[in-house]
Amino acid sequence: MKVRIATRKSALALWQAEHVADRLRAIPEVSEVELLPMSTKGDEILDRSLQKIGGKGLFIKELEVAMQRGDADIAVHSMKDVPAEMPDGFCLASTLERANPADALVSRNHVAFSDLPNGARIGSSSLRRQAQLRMLRPDLLIEPLRGNVNTRLAKLEAGEFDAIILAAVGLQRLELDGHITEQFTTKQMLPATAQGVLGIECLEERNDLRALLAQLNHAQTVQTTTAERTVARGLQASCQSPVATFAEIDAGELRIRGLAAMPDGSESIRNSIQGAPEDAASLGNQLAQRMLADGAGELLERAAASG
């Protein structure tokens, strides 16, 4: 079987697609793998924040259209970019083992987070990161930052910011981790839903592909990703919402933590739940319901209105 992979054109997206291609080439039934790089709306509009562009799946819609047309068989995504609700006709066919979920500080002259001067300019367009940064350091000036990894690093180098926040895994995959000043713990900054996870999407009707791709599933990552995405779905959060969810399995027990916040860090709702890993979806739903009972729905409505 030949497998055609739709992918974004950025260096990181191409790394991810090539990583999946290598995994597929190791499967005997796969005769050939081809990458089909393409541009998405989220890649092309860089002068506005993701929240202002609006809509869901800003980085994946064009890839899905390619699969619908029959031009591509699968798409490889950073799971944190994938809406919690899959569009009709599509499915998440495989979830690869999670890499580093942490957020990383990249600062000029490797100045530690605690040593950044009062009023330091921090680049981040993520409302989730903005909220948690402001909880840690209300004095910081947080400004929008869009573009691919190298573009963001160049803006830091040019002096537009004192520091920027990026996913550690992206820097590590591109062998740019020498730029990392420090990584935030999950207690300091709860990651985005499924941050560090690669997922493979295909048409729901492609049973042949689904059987093939299931061979790449990592069981524990399937459980933690299911838990986190169920929380996000319950909160009706998009990948642009000031929401964080993080699940981990330790000593045979699944623990899920959730956060919803105002982007300015002035208010937040946190909660957690734990139980059996095989109950990931149920536990995720229970945590979402707890957070909604605590007022997360109203808080997120106000957060959206404030944007």
Query: Among the options 22, 47, 71, 81, which is catalytic?
Result: 81
Which amino acid type is present at position 21?
A
43 catalytic? Reply is no
Rg (CA), the chain: 19
Residue pair 75/60 in contact (Cβ under 8 Å)? The answer is: yes
The closest alpha carbon to 96, from 221, 230, 209, belongs to 221
Query: Who contacts 187 (Cβ-Cβ below 8 Å, separation ≥6)?
Result: none
Residue environment code for 234-256, b if the CB has 16+ CB neighbours within 10 A, otherwise e: bbbbbbbbbbbbbbbbeeeebbb
What is the full DSSP assignment across 228-251?
HHHHHHHTT--TTSSEEEEEEEET
Q: Enumerate the active-site residues.
A: 81
